[in-house]
Chains A and B, each alone.
Chain A
Amino acid sequence: MTSAWALGQRALREAMRTPEALLPTLFIPIFFLVVNTGQAAKIFPSASTSFLEGQGYGAFQLPTSLLLAASFGTTALFLVEDIEGGYFDKLRATPIPRTAIVLGRLIAELVKGLVIATALVLIALPFGISIASGPLGFVLLIALTALWSVVFAGFMQLIALKTRSAAATNSGSLIFFPLLFLTPNFVPRDLLTSPIEAAATLNPVTYLMEALRSLILEDFAWGRILPGFAVVAALGALMIWLNVRLIRQYD
């Protein structure tokens, strides 16, 4: 873990020295939160919309913005730079476990995810959004969002390692749009039309979104929270395993 942490610190320095890559991960989700809430808030007044649990529509939309913020995966573009510039080979020529090479960037992604998710929620709070599950729920909300950013960064790193191309890696991030929008992002799952409901049920991001939403709108409903954590645990383990496998086979 010493090597992974050392590489994580390096990736964090890299992030701090490229604020232009970090700022969109905050501003674009805020933009979506404002626009989506502005467009649909009148359709779903809090007084007569039971699924809002007494809050405004912004609270229902916040998980979409959190997931969007956690799904940029810009770290993979830095990895492509490392590959193209030869620094990745320099790392491969050191006697550290290949897992450390993968975990280094993912640790940094976790830290960035925690900071960005915290900032986003804190920005949202003054606009009438509250976290119904309290301080512990707030911590779980931030943690779950940050863990998803690790999963998504792991996926993007797979594309970077496989293609070694910035253009292909950038295109890979587009997969998040079907993942994000084939979910109950505007209304709960039982209000979706049948085909979209079926797609949402198959989409793992749905369970993540429902867990985040539950933490915002309800007191601890573990039946909805735990599946979200199970999704990030399973996909996270899969991504790390696939990344390490690719690096071991890397020629």
Chain B
Amino acid sequence: MDDGRQRAEKRREVGISLRSPAQNAGTENPASVGTTPAVHAEALVKHYRSRAGLVEAVRGVDLVVEAGEVFGFLGPNGAGKSTTVRMLTTLLSITSGTVRVAGTDVTREPDEARRRIGVALQEAGLDPRQTGRELLVLQGRLFGLATRDASARAEELLELVELQDAADRQIKSYSGGMKRRLDLASALVQEPDVLFLDEPTTGLDPASRLTVWEELRRINRLDTTVFLTTQYLEEADQLCDRLAIIDGGRIVRQGTPAQLKAELRDRQGLASDPTLDEVFLDATGRSRSRVAGDVQEVSA
């Protein structure tokens, strides 16, 4: 049995997904010691044609995400984060390079890869005219569950993300935070080995953000690898075991938050550890004044 299947089996054995969040609060699963990386991308390239000509969105990304990690993928707007995530999740064709997710080649066996991954993209991909429960039951059925099993799984997930009270309301009436939590739940229907989240807290108020963070920690404790893109460096610092920073379609830094800070401190001879913001600005060749200028330009 491979690592992914072992983890899924383990989750079923301990019945974690059947428990309420309160019951789960004290559960600490040991980190996975699997040998197959959760994500392994080699020389990943994406080119496409636009009206302006050839766009080299991703220019040779190499990534290894170990099973059980929370991996942060950071970068400025347009750096190639979302494009990379879409390639890793079978949603975008790959110009060249290879990607294996949970040991499965996403190009050669896309359906097998899809069974092993959960995806929540930037635009909480929900159908506003369905209820939360209907959406989760449908998602379960699309992953091969019988209707009764899909209904039971939906109930577990609604409990997990604390949306039982709103379960039978149409999603169009949900707040932004509720939609994010439901999107997260729908990405967990099939108990994925790897959960991909593209900016899961963008646009959320601080309280909703903290709720999503707590959900992610809980999901990760169940041995699900989390691959997270975010523009919030504090979020990356709080949640991620390791980080990669992408800029201009290339990985420019990779390591644990502590390693990245220590590297900058040593290189610049700083008296104390820099913040992750400073690591990010250094890695992407930006300065605070330039970023401030960019922000003003965008907001105008």
Residues of A within 8 A of B (CB): 2-3, 6-7, 10, 13-14, 17-18, 82, 85-96, 251
| Contact indicator B114/A94 (Cβ below 8 Å) | yes
Q: Does B92 contact A (CB under 8 A)?
A: yes
> What's the least CB distance linking A19 to chain B, in Å?
12
12 contacts between A and B (CB under 8 A): A6-B142, A7-B142, A86-B121, A86-B125, A90-B186, A92-B90, A93-B117, A93-B119, A95-B144, A96-B142, A251-B92, A251-B93
Given contacts A2-B141, A3-B141, A3-B142, contact A90 B125 (CB under 8 A): yes
Q: How many A-B residue pairs have CB under 8 A?
A: 71
Which A residues are CB-close (under 8 A) to B93?
251
Identity of the chain A residue whose Cβ is nearest the Cβ of B189 in the assembled complex: A94
Task: Please give me the residue from chain A that is nearest to B115 by CB atom.
Answer: A95
Binds A, one of B13-21, B128-136, B239-247, B274-282: B128-136
Q: B residues 77-116 with Cβ under 8 Å of A?
A: 89-93, 111-112, 114-115
Q: Name the residue in A87, A90, A96, A251 with the highest tally of chain B Cβ atoms < 10 Å from its Cβ.
A: A90
B144 CB contacts on chain A under 8 angstroms: 95
Would you call the interface of chain A mostly helix, strand, loop, or mixed?
helix
Q: How far is the CA of A178 from the CA of B139 in the complex (A)?
A: 41
Q: How far in angstroms is the closest Cβ of chain A from B51?
A: 15
> CA of A92 to CA of B129 in the docked complex: distance in angstroms?
19
Point out the residues of chain A lying under 8 angstroms from B219, CB to CB.
Answer: none
Contacts of A18 in B (CB 8 A): 129
Q: Mask for B70-82, Cβ within 8 A of A = 1, else 0?
A: 0000000000000
Interface extent on B, as a size class?
A: 20 to 34
Q: Are A86 and B123 in contact (CB under 8 A)?
A: yes
Please tell me which one of the listed residues B48, B115, B121, B134 contacts residue A89 in the complex, with CB atoms under 8 A apart: B121
Quick check: A6 and B121 within 8 Å, CB to CB? no
Given contacts A91-B142, A94-B143, A251-B93, contact A14 B129 (CB under 8 A): yes
Instruction: Give A251 to B124 CA distance when docked, in angstroms.
Output: 18
Contact residues in A for B129 (Cβ distance below 8 Å): 13-14, 17-18
Q: Which residues of B contact A3 (CB under 8 A)?
A: 141-142
CB distance from B93 to the nearest CB of A (A): 5
Looking at chain B's contact residues, is the secondary structure mostly helix, strand, loop, or mixed?
loop
In the assembled complex, B63 has its CB within 8 A of some CB on chain A:
no
In the complex with contacts A2-B141, A3-B142, A95-B112, A87-B89 CB distance below 8 A: no
Whether, in the assembled complex, B122 has its beta carbon less than 8 Å from a beta carbon of chain A, the answer is yes
Please provide the 8 A-B residue pairs with the shortest distance between their CB atoms, ordered closest to farther: A86-B125, A86-B123, A90-B125, A95-B111, A95-B114, A94-B142, A6-B141, A93-B119
Q: In the complex, A189 Cα to B219 Cα: how many Å?
A: 67
Instruction: Report chain A residues within 8 Å CB of B141.
Output: 2-3, 6
**Separation of A92 and B121 alpha carbons in the complex (Å):** 12
Set B89, B112, B117, B123: member contacting A85, Cβ < 8 A:
B123
Least distance between A242 CB and chain B CB atoms (Å): 19
Decide if A13 touches B117 in the complex (CB within 8 Å).
no
Q: Are B123 and A10 in contact (CB under 8 A)?
A: no
Contacts of B124 in A (CB 8 A): 86
The chain A residue sitting closest to B126, CB to CB, is A87
Chain A residue with Cβ nearest B137: A6
Q: Give the chain B neighbours of A14 by CB distance below 8 A.
A: 127, 129-130
CB distance from A79 to the nearest CB of B (A): 11
B90: chain A residues at CB < 8 Å are 92-93
> For A3, A89, A92, A93, which residue has the most chain B Cβ atoms within 10 angstroms?
A93
Q: Would A89 and B91 be within 8 Å (CB), given that A95-B112, A95-B115 are in contact?
A: yes
B48-68 residues at the A interface, CB under 8 angstroms: 48
B138 contacts the other chain (CB 8 A): yes
Complex CA gap A94/B115 in Å reads: 7
A93 touches B91 (CB 8 A): yes
Q: Once the chains bind, are A85 and B126 in contact (CB under 8 Å)? A: yes
